[in-house]
Structure 1
Amino acid sequence: MLKKLLSAGLVAAGMLAVAAPAGAQDVTLKLHQLLPLKAAIPDKFINPWIERVQTQSGGRIKVEHYPSMQLGGKPPELAQQVTDGAVDIIWTVMGYTPGRFPRAEAFELPFMVATAEETSVAFQKYADKHMQNDFPGMQVLAVHTHGPGLIHSKAPVSSLEDLKGMKLRGPTRVITGMLEQLGAVAIGMPVPAVPEAVSKGVIDGAVIPWEVTLPLKMAELVGNHTGFEGDRGLYTATFLFAMNKARYDALPDDLKKVIDDNSGVEAARLAGRAMDEVDKIGMAKAQQAGNTIITLDAAETARWKEAATPVVDGWIAEMDGKGMDGAGMVMDARDLVAAETK
């Protein structure tokens, strides 16, 4: 009798062992992005995000992280790669695909940005309101921004006049347009191309946040860094962290919940916080190098804001011409940032 009970128990246990994996679907997701692993977002946002998702799924979700465009293509192709399902998740710069995310550009306008954390939360709330239809084929995990963008240049920029004729890299069409309006010669290029362009004299400097100066070694390439008085920086860029929609839809409900629990405002907050943390390190690195850090006073900052006003007006008119409420989007963006900075 004991033999029969043991035998039955072993058979039942065997059946459970076979049945469990069938019910517990395992998923491997390929995540593709343009930055090296030691950059702020991969190191302090994407990798911790991967760890949380893998842990909270009980190991049923595995995320393979491919940095520095290791799966091929160029940074502007990332949005299409995830839409087509060539990869499962991407992190990218929205402005690398001009015209694809026009509503996001409200946050790239001059002197919109506060800290990265505050602005990222505001941007996520803005996207939830204004950009619901802007991501066909994607499940948005988070949108965010970097912190206040500065001018990093070989020659010092202490006034608006110093900018005239200076060749500066800009990341997106709105920001290159702003630089042109302010008197610079703006050259658009993805951020990985900046060090070589500076070294070869193709550009005289770049507009980037402090955190990006670290992987680019900008403190070694230029000697001057110019920021602005007050709680708003010159500009920011917008970023997208997204999953292929069909891949997301195919997940069982419990794994969708894991993804959902690591999406939205709190994910945007963490991405922004990562940027802010490394901004401090980037600034300290420039100080240690003995570089000149310039903060334009309130009067000079006001001159730059006035000079940049046509960029805002032009963007509003352009959006109105496309049937969007340009002024309303700018007002919402400003109000949302202001609400986060109280």
Structure 2
Amino acid sequence: MKKLLVSAALATGLVATLAKADDAIDLRVMGQPMATGLIQKNLEQPFFENLAETSGLPLKVNYKAADTTGIKDTEQLRVLKSGMFDLISLRLSQVSRDEPTILGLDLVGLNPTYAAGAHTISQYQAVVDKRLQERFNTKLLGLWPFGPQVLFCNHPISNLEDVAGLKVRVYDQNLAKFVESIGGVPIPISFGDVHQSLALGVIDCAITGTSSANTAGWPEVSTHMLPIGFQLGMNGYGINLNTWNKLSDQQQATLQASFDQLVKDIWGYSEDLYKESLRCNVGEKPCDNLTSYDLVKVPVREQDLKTVSETVMKVSYPTWAEICDQSNPSCSAEWTAAMKD
């Protein structure tokens, strides 16, 4: 009888252990909006849909694109902190009003190239991650760019100075201040509303990445494109710390490795898309993966490049530092210390 009881106890323990091992961890994911294009469609969504299988982790992933949730992208950090979603593809400029520290990753003029953006991330990501963990119970799993954010107008322009007096769609306060500094009128409008706003003349110009604009049909309601990269369009993956802490150390390492690979893939794909979308938007070949349009490609002057480059210390940094230090007194000092290396 004693042996039977011991055997039963062992069997019960084994079943319980197996059941625990097989228990799936729910992962409610908010991705990028579908309207933003091929990064969301070809890399991000398939990654999450196959994550349980490719990682071997006990995950039950429920992925929803942001524009199918009814939730504004400006609310993403609050939503993540609340636990409504476990993991979100954060639109960093859009959530920066809740945490201005984030904007230090992509000040206007700071990241004119992909290489510059990668350097900024290597220096400053840890600072942003620490702040998000403290204030929003969120861990950063990785950062990536949509690509250079350029100017589209339905009004003839020949250089950056022609923006003076025009109404320009912006997506964060740093970009708004820059547009003001060159004489434009910044208008904050969500990405999904830009096409109609350009068509109706609510705005004259709008800024976004070249591939996102192509996918969203902006060239249908624009005439000119000025391909100067004001920002790099940084985005990131954030996971609720409660969800993260459900994982063992080994599981955390496995999940982080999966995101490291995804982010690496997106960086390469983003640069390829940028080059192709520059061609497609103005009717040049080859154009195999996007829609071909016939925008006027405005020549980039050295003076315009100089204006954007000089805006970092003249406009974007001081404007951001003042705002950020109000909510995070050590903000600008931490940015300066991180970026000096």
TM range (shorter): 0.7 to 0.9
Give the equivalent residue in structure 2 for 1:238: 234
Give the equivalent residue in structure 2 for 1:295: 299
Give the equivalent residue in structure 2 for 1:223: 223
Q: Alignment partner of 1:187: what SS?
A: strand
Give the equivalent residue in structure 2 for 1:132: 130
Distance 2:123 2:263 in 1: 10
Contact kept? 2:177, 2:319, Cα under 8 Å: no
Distance 1:91 1:73 in 2: 13
Q: Alignment partner of 1:69: what SS?
A: helix
Q: Deviation of residue 57 (structure 1)? A: 3.6
Contact kept? 2:214, 2:281, Cα under 8 Å: no
In the alignment, does 2:318 pair up with 1:313?
Answer: yes
Distance 2:16 2:41 in 1: 38
Change (3 A) 1:48 1:331: farther
Percent identity at matched positions? 16
Q: Deviation of residue 257 (structure 1)? A: 2.7
Give the equivalent residue in structure 2 for 1:247: 243
In the alignment, does 2:269 pair up with 1:274?
Answer: yes
Which structure would you say has the larger RCO, counting Cα contacts within 8 Å and 6 or more residues apart? 1
Q: Deviation of residue 312 (structure 1)? A: 2.7
Give CA-to-partner distance per residue, 1:284-310, whole Å, 9 cap, x none.
Answer: 221222221123222342245446723
Give the equivalent residue in structure 1 for 2:107: 109
Aligned-residue CA RMSD in angstroms?
Answer: 3.1
Q: Deviation of residue 37 (structure 1)? A: 7.2
1:237 maps to a residue whose letter is G
Q: Deviation of residue 85 (structure 1)? A: 0.7
Q: Which runs of 5+ in 1 are unaligned?
A: 1-11, 337-342
1:301 maps to a residue whose letter is L
Q: Alignment partner of 1:65: what SS?
A: strand
For 1:1-342, what aligned pairs fall within 5 Å after superposition?
20-36=18-34, 39-50=37-48, 53-58=51-56, 60-116=58-114, 119-120=117-118, 122-123=120-121, 125-129=123-127, 131-135=129-133, 136-228=136-228, 233-263=229-259, 266-288=261-283, 289-306=293-310, 309-319=314-324, 323-324=329-330, 326=332, 329=335, 332-333=338-339
Distance 2:36 2:209 in 1: 16
Contact kept? 2:145, 2:235, Cα under 8 Å: yes
Aligned pair count? Answer: 319
Q: Alignment partner of 1:310: what SS?
A: helix
Give the equivalent residue in structure 2 for 1:8: none
Q: Deviation of residue 317 (structure 1)? A: 4.4
Q: Deviation of residue 277 (structure 1)? A: 2.4
Change (3 A) 1:137 1:296: same
1:166 maps to a residue whose letter is L
Contact kept? 1:121, 1:268, Cα under 8 Å: no
Give CA-to-partner distance per residue, 1:6-33, whole Å, 9 cap, x none.
Answer: xxxxxx9999788634323322311113
Give CA-to-partner distance per residue, 1:62-95, whole Å, 9 cap, x none.
Answer: 3221014333322212221111111111112123
Change (3 A) 1:22 1:108: closer
Q: Alignment partner of 1:296: what SS?
A: coil
Change (3 A) 1:37 1:28: farther
Q: Alignment partner of 2:237: what SS?
A: strand
Change (3 A) 1:252 1:59: closer
1:329 maps to a residue whose letter is W
2:200 maps to a residue whose letter is K
Distance 1:213 1:114 in 2: 19
1:256 maps to a residue whose letter is Q
Distance 1:196 1:216 in 2: 11
Distance 1:100 1:278 in 2: 30
Q: Deviation of residue 166 (structure 1)? A: 0.8
Contact kept? 1:141, 1:262, Cα under 8 Å: no
Give CA-to-partner distance per residue, 1:248-294, whole Å, 9 cap, x none.
Answer: 21124443232122245x54433333322222232222122222112
Q: Alignment partner of 1:63: what SS?
A: strand
Q: Deviation of residue 316 (structure 1)? A: 3.6
Q: Alignment partner of 1:283: what SS?
A: helix
Give CA-to-partner distance per residue, 1:126-182, whole Å, 9 cap, x none.
Answer: 111454133331122112333221111112332233111111100111111111111
Q: Deviation of residue 101 (structure 1)? A: 2.5
* TM-score, length basis structure 2: 0.81
Give the equivalent residue in structure 1 for 2:7: none
Contact kept? 2:159, 2:298, Cα under 8 Å: no
Distance 1:15 1:324 in 2: 52
Q: Alignment partner of 1:147: what SS?
A: coil
